[in-house]
Each structure stands twice: as structure tokens, then as C-alpha cells.
């Protein structure tokens, strides 16, 4: 799931997954963090989910995926669309 909050010239995007699916550490990776799996690991929050938040320029489009332990890549069904390889988010 994706949560968005508009800020001055930026959009705060929070990437949300269930706390235990998949049952391994997960990071959100994309062109906004140079596909670096250490840049945005998802952290647990008190409601049974885990999240990572990034601020992106409003009016931009970005490719992203999730990367879990064991080199397990997966997509977010709530992405704005998929380009065949990655999910895409528009801010």
C-alpha cells in the first residue's frame, strides 16, 4: 500500500507492507535511491505494518520495487502502474 502526503513542492510517500509478509527484512528500492537496498529499509510500526517514507518532487514519476532477504524481489499491487519490470509511482 502507498500513502501520500503533499508538502511544499514535494510529496511524502510512505511504502506500507504487513509486518510479516514476507517474513524477512524488506527494503524499498527505486530510482529515487539509486536502487540501494540499504537506503530505505521498512521498519515496524505499532499497527502491525512496516513502513519506509521518502520525499519526492511533486509532479515526478519513479520506478520502484521491494527487495527482501534472499534476493527476493516483488512488486506493490497498489503502484500507480507497472512498466513490465517495476512498479511506478506518480507524485
CATH number at residue 32: 2.60.40.10
Q: What is the pLDDT of residues 44-69, one digit of tens each?
A: 999 999 999 999 999 999 999 999 99
Q: Is residue 91 part of a domain?
A: no
Spatial distance between the Cα atoms of 89 and 58, rounded to a whole number of angstroms: 11
Q: How many domains does the chain have?
A: 1
Q: Would you say 91 and 13 are in contact if contact means Cβ atoms under 8 Å apart?
A: yes
pLDDT at 55: 97
pTM of the predicted structure, to 2 decimals: 0.93
Spatial distance between the Cα atoms of 46 and 68, rounded to a whole number of angstroms: 21
The domain in which residue 60 lies consists of: 2-84
pLDDT per residue rounded down to tens, the chain (91 residues): 999 999 999 999 999 999 999 999 999 999 999 999 999 999 999 999 999 999 999 999 999 999 999 999 999 999 999 999 999 999 9
Amino acid at each position: 500500500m502507498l500513502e501520500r502526503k503533499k508538502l511544499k513542492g514535494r510529496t511524502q510517500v510512505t511504502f506500507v507492507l504487513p509486518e510479516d509478509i514476507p517474513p524477512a527484512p524488506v527494503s524499498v528500492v527505486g530510482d529515487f535511491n539509486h536502487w540501494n537496498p540499504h537506503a530505505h529499509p521498512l521498519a515496524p510500526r505499532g499497527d502491525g505494518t512496516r513502513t519506509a517514507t521518502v520525499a519526492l518532487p511533486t509532479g515526478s514519476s519513479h520506478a520502484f520495487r521491494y527487495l527482501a532477504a534472499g534476493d527476493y524481489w516483488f512488486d506493490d499491487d497498489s503502484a500507480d502502474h507497472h512498466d513490465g519490470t517495476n512498479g511506478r509511482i506518480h507524485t
